[in-house]
Amino acid sequence: MDNTDITKSTKNLKPWWQRFTAGLNEFYHAPYRQTMARAARDEEDFFMLLMFAESLGIDNPASFYTLELQPLFLENFHEWHTRMGMDRCPFDHVGCC
């Protein structure tokens, strides 16, 4: 048996093993991908509500801390308020609609 035969077989084994683990990972995670995406979206919706609660007229004890984050999340605000059922932007000073 030649030394080149051993290295050739180990080179072929590594991509096969990576493909197998990727397929196994997909097999276990695929059924839960939609559920996890929905949970992440719900978390983001709640966070957006906390950030813009004071502007919407809802008392928010953490408004001092979330006020700094509003400019960062303002680009996602239009998508959020339409998903929450508000057809038009509830703020006069924000021109998203």
Mean pLDDT of the chain: 80
Higher pLDDT, 29 or 10: 29
**pLDDT by residue (tens digit) across 34-54?**
999 999 999 999 988 888 888
d(CA 19, CA 3): 25
pLDDT of residue 41: 92
Nearest to 49 by CA among 18, 22, 21, 81: 81
pLDDT of residue 35: 93
Q: Is the pLDDT of residue 3 over 60?
A: no
Supply the pTM of this predicted model. Answer: 0.61
